[in-house]
Amino acid sequence: MEMIKTRAAVAWGPGQPLSIEEVDLMPPRKGEVLVRIVATGVCHTDAFTLSGSDPEGKFPAILGHEGGGIVEALGEGVTSIAVGDHVIPLYTPECGECKFCKSGKTNLCQAIRATQGQGLMPDGTTRFLKNGKPIYHYMGTSTFSEYTVIPEISLAKINREAPLEKVCLLGCGVTTGLGAVAKTAKVKKGDTVAVFGLGGIGLAVIIGAAMAKAGRIIAIDINPGKFEIARQLGATDVVNPRDYSKPIQDVIIEMTGGGVDFSFECIGNVKVMRSALECCHKGWGESVIIGVAGAGEEICTRPFQLVTGRVWRGSAFGGVKGRTELPGYVQRYLDGEFELDTFITHTMGLDDINTAFELMHEGKSIRTVIHF
């Protein structure tokens, strides 16, 4: 197979708008797959990396990690995926063989972690080139390109009947929220839940909590424009911290007669992470950090908060193992267990992708889905 041209949104440097241009894409090598991306969501993590706050952010790069696509060609030795398969790229791969995959305790496969974090394919090179110079991959996925090359272990094969322009959201935001509730926190019927940040992640946490039949779901955001959708998806209470002069954890402790059973931080703000921990019930409340904080930032609380029974944990991709478990989430969507339409506030072509970032920064969108 020859090198092909692909239309992509290139991030040339931190803080710069993405540039839509044609770049060269080398064919898939051993263990790699050429995928035609049909649609991709734009997640806050893309904006985080583009801003320059991501310690692993490398430029120039092709960002994007919430995609859905169709397999176009296979590199040598690929056996688990066939041409024509519908796939969701995975920024958390699943090799099935590393210590992490075999542990049964985590979804954080480490098979290609080192190269993926450097924007490289597992052999240490890039498939994207512009004028002969490498353009880095992003999170092993680079879905802001019509064609992309992805390791076989980073692809979940899904039911072909699933609409790729919707289930692409299961490539990050929605699965992250649903998984954090069901797999990381293990929320049970009747539990009280607080959700900090009502973007794609926080709203997916609300759906997950409603599916778990949580008794009370308290949705917290400084943008009241998010409250209507939160209620529609199952929030029982909405709270704007700016309406109160005291710390938001005190407000929630009062509202709940002692604190929540589970809280979820879906923003990436270390101060809110503290509030999320401290609004948990003494003796048993658990707080799950989902938001990604900027380079060098640290969380803090008084250790006595943990001594007295609160638990702090974190969740990446909802603790979901991509190859073995994500196809099941797609099926559950097809079976009508949860919806995706409410998340998709905007759709547009790749040429308008910078508008998608503006809408996110202005708090006007939940998810924009880019259609190629």
Residues that bind ligand DAO (CB under 6 A): 43, 45, 65, 91-92, 108, 110, 113, 172, 292, 316
Q: Which of 36, 72, 98, 355 is catalytic?
A: 98
Q: Which two tokens stand for residue 216?
A: 């009370």
- Residue in 7, 29, 36, 113 annotated catalytic: 113
Q: Which of 109, 168, 279, 280 is catalytic?
A: 109
Q: How many residues of this chain bind ligand NAD (CB under 6 A)?
A: 33
Closer to ligand DAO by Cβ: residue 118 or 159 = 118
C-beta separation of 218 from 237 below 8 A = yes
The two structure tokens encoding residue 130: 């512009």
Q: Give me the least distance between CB of 240 and ligand NAD, in Å please.
A: 8
Question: What is the chain's Cα-based Rg?
Answer: 20
Nearest Cα neighbor of 153 from 348, 326, 292 is: 326
- Active-site annotation holds for 279: no
* 46 and 200 Cβ atoms separated by less than 8 Å: no
Please say which residue, 180 or 253, places its beta carbon nearer to ligand DAO. Answer: 180
327's contact among Zn ion, ligand NAD, ligand DAO, none, with CB below 5 to 8 A by partner kind, is none
Closer residue to ligand NAD, CB minimum distance, 9 or 266: 266
**Residue 301: CB minimum distance to ligand DAO, A:** 21
Q: Which residue has the tokens 């005190």?
A: 250
Active-site hit among 32, 49, 65, 265? 65
* Residue appearing with tokens 């339409």: 341
* Secondary structure (3-state) at 201: helix
44-51 vs 353-361: helix crossing angle, rounded to 10? 100
371 is catalytic: no
Q: Which does 95 bind (CB under 5 to 8 A by kind): ligand DAO, Zn ion, ligand NAD, none?
A: Zn ion
Least distance from C-beta 231 to ligand DAO, angstroms?
26
Which helix (DSSP H) or strand (DSSP E) does residue 25 occupy? strand 19-25
Q: What angle do CA 318, 321, 325 make, to 5 degrees?
A: 100
Q: Which one, 74 or 198, has the nearer CB to ligand DAO?
A: 198
Whether 161 is a known active-site residue: answer no
Residues paired with 348 in a beta bridge = 370
Q: For ligand NAD, which stretch binds (CB under 6 A), given 80-88, 125-133, 256-264, 309-317? A: 309-317
Bridge partners of 9, per DSSP, are: 20
Instruction: Please give the Cα distance from 8 to 215 (Å, whole number).
Output: 45
Residue 110 in contact with ligand NAD, rule: CB under 6 A: no
Pairing of strands 86-89, 4-10: unpaired
Q: Which is nearer to ligand DAO, 109 or 252 (CB)?
A: 109
Would you call 109 a catalytic residue per the annotation? yes
Q: Is position 36 annotated as part of the catalytic site?
A: no
State the catalytic residues. 43-45, 65-66, 95, 98, 101, 109, 113, 172, 367
